[in-house]
Amino acid sequence: MRFYESQSLERIGFDFYCDIARNIVKARESKGITQEELAKKCKLKYSRISSTELVKTRVKYDELNNIANILNVSVDWLIDAEIDSQIGDCLYLVWIEDHSEMKFYQKATSKRMAYLLFEKRLNELGFSLTSFVNPRVRVLVKLVGVPVGKNEFKKCFPKLDKRVDELPPEK
């Protein structure tokens, strides 16, 4: 992982869930599946699918993963993710807009995925974003590190000579 200087932030809020809802509807309709059928296949309540598509509730990562599998699309597609590295997970800083003094690191493939995984971690610890933030507050995500590939190492470091690691003969 190398440090990545970036001024670009992704502010994630209500519009993020609107994008997800639009993509779920698009994928569901292209497969000819009703909300009821999707709910049954995902083992979710119909009201949960309906509320997600109407952007009345925040959809969780595990639910999105399940929906993506049923609709035969990726979670990245559902969340309109812009993948930041093709060779591995990047490192992101994630923080709540009104609480910039407390920032968290999250590994993920994109800023949007970092947000979902951050929220999942909070939920696993028994916390919810909605419990301590106003629904209008946004979460900010900033790319701070990208993985280093073999080619980058080759550019930066000379190839080791095996003799360098050997001890000199004793006299």
pLDDT by residue (tens digit) across 86-128?
Answer: 888 999 999 988 888 999 999 999 999 999 999 999 899 988 8
Whether 94 and 144 have beta carbons less than 8 Å apart is answered as no
Distances (CA, A) of 113 to 15, 41, 119: 15, 24, 10
Asked whether residue 45 falls in the same domain as residue 125, the answer is no
Asked whether residue 86 falls in the same domain as residue 7, the answer is yes
Asked whether residue 116 falls in the same domain as residue 146, the answer is yes
* Global pTM value: 0.82
165 domain-assigned? no
Domain that holds residue 144: 2-12+82-155
The whole-number average pLDDT for the span 141-147 is 91
Residue pLDDT, tens place only, 31-57: 999 999 999 999 999 999 999 999 998
Instruction: Quote the number of domains for the chain.
Output: 2
* High-pLDDT (> 70) share of the chain, %: 85
Asked whether residue 91 falls in the same domain as residue 120, the answer is yes
Asked whether residue 86 falls in the same domain as residue 143, the answer is yes
- CATH number where 69 lies: 1.10.260.40
49 domain-assigned? yes
